[in-house]
Amino acid sequence: MILSSFDLTGKVALITGCNTGLGQGIAVGLAEAGCDIVGVNRSDPHETMAKVTQTGRRFLNLNADLGKIDAIPALVQTAVDTFGKIDILVNNAGIIRREDALNFSEKDWDDVMDVNIKTLFFMAQAVAKQLICQGSGGKIINIASMLSFQGGIRVPSYTASKSAVMGITRLLANEWAQHHINVNAIAPGYMVTNNTQQLRTDEERNQQILERIPAARWGTPEDMMGPIVFLASPASNYVNGYTLAVDGGWLAR
Ligand code: NAP
């Protein structure tokens, strides 16, 4: 029956940056669908751990700074040693820096590119090697942005990195479909998290954004749950290399 193809009972999902925000919504959504969760965090994810374990699923926290890629092999190995396998990777961790392009620093360029695209790629590579070893396919979901589609303003490294996320999602999907690994992305619109706190506290900017969203509200971490479960489950087995907007209609305007 179709609804059983959304069931993730017994799957193991590794999620980066799930102590807060969209990553927390993603972790709870996948746990409610049946996954044990491996969280990779630099901050203590006690709230997420409580929410996941309340669903009856296990939560393993691995501490890492994803601004560097050296920790990745050990993260994957520890996840496999603990839960026996990985089925799903969600590359969610991301940062943003705001400054005029004319004044943008090399540090703000490198810091954002390192987390948002370099680590995302090498994490996908490490998990794909494990999935290929396991021989039963898997799902990789990258978190993109409206700025995978649009230029934005005052966020040059963020736009560059998120445009790259959409491109690399397509490339990896092409290379790994033969291994039954689906690589897709979700592009959230304007969502209520730490990432957008600055925008939301600017009353004028907040109003301009709200007026442009057809759904007339900011998105929430809970809005990620249905789309992530779909892309993590057999229900999306013939969806490859696609970036799904979860944006209350922002891109449709
Ligand atoms: P958030 O609340 O700031 O969460 C970002 C997550 O990434 C946090 O868990 C953060 O950890 C983690 N992270 C950042 N740098 C890290 C590093 N060097 N090492 C380990 N973890 C690191 O923002 P969010 O909105 O939920 O963002 C989640 C994803 O959605 C990001 O990729 C973001 O670009 C994307 N996105 C968000 C929106 C939006 O409107 N909110 C829209 C489009 C796309 P800490 O808590 O320790 O900083």
Superfamily assignment of 2-245 in CATH?
NAD(P)-binding Rossmann-like Domain (3.40.50.720)
The domain segmentation of the chain, as residue ranges, is 2-245
Local confidence band at 105 (pLDDT 50, 70, 90 cut-offs): very high
Q: For the chain, give percent helix, strand, coil, nearest 5.
A: 55, 15, 30
Residue 118: count of CB within 10 angstroms of its CB: 17
Q: Are 164 and 117 in contact (CB under 8 A)?
A: yes
pLDDT in tens, 148-189: 999 999 999 999 999 999 999 999 999 999 999 999 999 999
CA of 177 to the centre of ligand 1 (A): 28
Contacts of 126 (CB under 8 A, 6+ apart): 72, 73, 75, 76
CA of 181 to the centre of ligand 1 (A): 25
Binding site membership of 191 for ligand 1 (Cβ less than 6 Å)? yes
The pTM of this model reads 0.98
pLDDT in tens, 227-252: 999 999 999 999 999 999 999 999 99
